[in-house]
Structures are given as structure tokens and as C-alpha cells.
Structure 1
Amino acid sequence: MTQAVREAGAVELILIRHGESLGNVAASEAQLAGVELIDVPARDADVILSPTGQEQALALGRALASFPAESRPDAVVSSPYVRARQTAEIAVETSGWQLAVRTDERLRDRELGILDMLTWQGVQQRFPEEAERRRWLGKFYYRPPGGESWADVALRLRSVLSELNSLGMGHRVMLVCHDAVILLFRYILEGMTEQEVLDVAAGTSVLNASITRYVRPEGAGPWTLESFNQADHLSEQGVEVTEHAGDASVRPR
């Protein structure tokens, strides 16, 4: 074995979006009603899974149980947000994997600052200057006061990926996180441009409890997308597949 291979890192990365949350449900209801404020039951970090989200996490766990022993992750790391942690813990327990779920704050959802709990209509009504700035800059670079841009999130994810290179050869890692985080992992891992990742975001909703897989058999070099946004494990078990997307107007004006 060469020195380069001995120093190689992870060979597989499994990205999971959390199951449907009460916040997802509240946001979708607010958008349909055309109201300004989303009636979320708790601060963003504390929002729990909906009953459907819990079913999705159980179905995910049953699907993970079917992974061959040699293909199972060596580590499971979750966003510290409750909805992601619940998804990870339910899925791992159901799968029968003997793994502890660790958390990493760098996997948290994008922070919205003063726009937290507002629909797009609410932003336009209450903060028209911010709405205009968002239209001008586009979703990738727009940072709401007190919040983060997508570029900010990408910076913290780059540090997560760099640590995967220090794990040692052969490791497989499962990360349980959020829709924007998964899209930005794609941006980084595939070397996308701003336009390319925004095109994906505009045309694709990352489904709740979906699975996205990247592989690199040698443990070094570029990652290859094996599957994206797969939710067959839900529909095959008769569990509802839910689609809760963010604002589709993502490109700069």
C-alpha cells in the first residue's frame, strides 16, 4: 500500500435530509394562505419532526438496515437541530447499527437573521429594502442582517469535508442535515458554479428523508455522485413522500 493510500480519507459520503418537520408544515401552510408570518412552534433549532416525519425516519432506518455490512457507515453525524437529530437517532436505532449519533454545528441549517419566521410575502411587506437587495444579489450571495448567505454556509461545509480526509482509508460517513446544506455539498463536491447550483435549486426540491450518495473508492481525489435525492425507500414502504422547498426565485436579477 502506497503512502498516498495510507493517508487517504473517507470513501463514501451519505447525505440525508431530515424528515418532515412541524416547521416545514407551518411554512407550507403559510405560503398557501398568503400570510406574512410562519406560525412555527419553536425556535428553528428546536422544531421537531411531524408525525409524518417520524414515519419517514422509521422507514429510512428500515432501508438502512438492508445495507450490506461492508457498506455501512463507520460514523453518523447530525446537524444539532432537533429535527435532524431525531431523524438520525430514529433511523440508526431502527437500522440496528451499533453507532452513536454525533452532532456538528457546522451542519446546521442556514440562519435567516431578521427574516426568520417570515414568508417571502412577509419579507416584501416588512423589509422591502431587503427584498430588493435579495433580488439584486440572488440567493447565493444575499446575507440577511444577522443571518447567512449560501456562500457562508459553503465555507463551514468545506471545513467538514477537509476533516473527512483525516479519517483514514475506507471510512464511510453519514451526515443528517438540511436541504440547503445538501445542495451546497453538491456545489462543493462537484465544483459547480453559482449559476449551476442555483439552477439545481430552482428545479429540484430535496425531499424529506431522502438519500444522496457520493463515492471515491481510492479515498482521495474527486467525489462521484452515485445517487441524488432518492426517496424510493419511503414510497416502497407506503410512507408519504413530502416536498417542502424554499423560495424558488434564487437567481440574481
Structure 2
Amino acid sequence: MPNRYPLRLWIVRHGESSGNVARDAAHAAGAARIDIPERDVDVPLSPLGHRQADAIGRWFADMPESARPELVLASPYRRAVQTAEAIRAEGGLVPGAPRLIEDERLREKEFGILDRLTRAGIEQHHPEQAELRRDLGKFYHRPPGGESWCDVILRLRSALDTLALHHGGRRVLIVGHQVVVLCLRYLLENLTEAEILAIDAEGDVANSSVTEYAFSPDLGPDGGLSLIRYNFVAPLEAEGAPITAEPDTNAAAK
């Protein structure tokens, strides 16, 4: 049977970013806008985010060499790249693993005109979008210049096809963002809109948390990926790195 699926697949959300910290400060102050000087793509990890990324790297490094990721794909956003590089630096990949593959299809959801606005800011500056989002729901609402969850899912379908074409039968690590983690679950587990939104409503995906799948030959005629764990934060707890689960910067439009 040709293996269309990775043998093992880990999906890690990036560590806490300076944007997460700025978002919390904006909400605490009741501000309409989140104060971030960089483009979203350039937002780096916070000092705590670096600790979290190092901790998850050491967790991978503690695995036998034969069980570690063979390659890593990441969103090109700086916070995701820094997380992936920290995992490598801590010995979390097999020796001789190829260089990081940055894939723009794994990037953060784009927020368009709602970029850097808090929930209060959206209500203040774009009340029509706030009302439209309430009517359509986050799965289908696409702000002008931005993306809906469906748009993210569309590009992730393509990324998974590439994964099957080039990396079937290998152990693969993906480093991305909160909505990317959730939308990959939607695709890999063939979930409905209601099912994935219920998972989302249970709580945010923690920074540097691990979602893991293993190939199972019993899932359909070609096998499939079986969920092993979701939002796994024990490696952070073991390393004494505080757990954070802030939504990404534009939480109101998540």
C-alpha cells in the first residue's frame, strides 16, 4: 500500500508572541487598537515564548532518534519560524534533518480591515462587520481584504496534498498558528463546522502546545491519521515554562 500519509504528524502552535502580550495590554486598557509596530508577519516571540519553544524542543529531543521528526514545515511568520528553529537548536529533529521548509499556506489567518483591532475596536470602527460576523459566524465570515476559516481551509487542503505527495511515510512536524491547528483538525478528522467550532469554544490552543497524529492502516482503504493528543502542554509544565493560551493578535476576528 503506498503511504499517502505521514507516519507521524505533529502540529505545534508557535510560542507566545509579543503580539499576544500587546493584545492582552489592549484589552486590559479597553483600547480599540492593538499597539504592534511590526507587520503581523514580523511579530517575534516574547521572552516567555522563547522559553516555551525551547521547552518543546527539549521534549522532542528526549525521544529516541528513531521517533523524532525527520523534517519541519512552518508558517513563514517570524514567531513560527523562531519556534521551529528553537526545536531544531534543542536537538528535537533527527540528525541531518533538511533545512526548515517555510510554506506560506501555513500562515496566520488574514484579518483585512480588522487587522489590529480589538473586539471593542471592531464594534467602534466597523459595526457592520461585527453584525455580519454575528450573522454568518466565524467559519464563513470574510472581512474585506481578509479571510474566513473556509479560506484558510482551502489553502491547507493544498498543503496536505503536497505533504502526501512529498512526505508520505515520514515523521513530519508543522509549526503554525491557532486557526491553522484547528483547521487542520477539521480536515484530518473530517469534522463538520459545528464540531470544529465546538472544539474551538472549549478553549484556545495553547502556545507551544502539541497536537499529534499517527498513521493507522485501519482508517479506510488507504489508512489515515488517528489523533493521539490535542493541545498537549505537559512538556511545558515539566520544564516549568508558564502556559499561555492567548488567541492570536486579532482575537476579535479569530
TM-score class, shorter: over 0.9
SS, match of residue 141 in structure 2: coil
1:135 maps to 134
Supply the distance in 2 between the matched residues of 1:41 and 1:61 (Cα, whole angstroms).
29
The answer to whether the aligner puts 1:76 opposite 2:78 as a matched pair is: no
Does the 8 Å CA contact 1:61/1:93 hold for their aligned counterparts? Answer: yes
The answer to whether the aligner puts 1:46 opposite 2:29 as a matched pair is: no
Supply the distance in 2 between the matched residues of 1:7 and 1:147 (Cα, whole angstroms).
35
Q: Structure 1 residue 45: deviation in Å?
A: 0.2
Which 4+ stretches in 1 moved above 6 angstroms?
none
Supply the distance in 2 between the matched residues of 1:164 and 1:249 (Cα, whole angstroms).
29
The counterpart of 1:221, out of the listed 195, 220, 223, is 223
Q: Structure 1 residue 168: deviation in Å?
A: 5.6
TM-score by length of 2: 0.92
Where does 1:237-252 land on structure 2 (aligned, <5 Å)?
237-245=239-247, 247=251
1:101 maps to 100
SS, match of residue 223 in structure 1: strand
Where does 1:51-200 land on structure 2 (aligned, <5 Å)?
51-95=47-91, 97=93, 98-99=96-97, 100-167=99-166, 169-200=168-199
Supply the distance in 1 between the matched residues of 2:149 and 2:105 (Cα, whole angstroms).
13
Q: Structure 1 residue 245: deviation in Å?
A: 2.4
Supply the distance in 1 between the matched residues of 2:67 and 2:6 (Cα, whole angstroms).
12
SS, match of residue 132 in structure 2: helix
1:211 maps to 210
Does the 8 Å CA contact 2:76/2:103 hold for their aligned counterparts? Answer: yes
SS, match of residue 191 in structure 2: coil
Residue segments in structure 1 that go unaligned for 5+ positions in a row: none
Does the 8 Å CA contact 1:208/1:243 hold for their aligned counterparts? Answer: yes
Q: How many residues align?
A: 246
1:202 maps to 201
Does the 8 Å CA contact 2:13/2:210 hold for their aligned counterparts? Answer: yes
SS, match of residue 6 in structure 1: coil
SS, match of residue 32 in structure 1: helix
Residue segments in structure 2 that go unaligned for 5+ positions in a row: none
Flag the 1:13–1:96 CA change in 2: closer, same or farther, 3 A: closer
2:236 maps to 234
The answer to whether the aligner puts 1:16 opposite 2:18 as a matched pair is: no
Q: Structure 1 residue 167: deviation in Å?
A: 2.9
Supply the distance in 2 between the matched residues of 1:62 and 1:169 (Cα, whole angstroms).
25
The alignment's C-alpha RMSD in Å is: 1.8
1:35 maps to 31
TM-score by length of 1: 0.92
% identity of equivalent residues:
46
Flag the 1:32–1:125 CA change in 2: closer, same or farther, 3 A: same
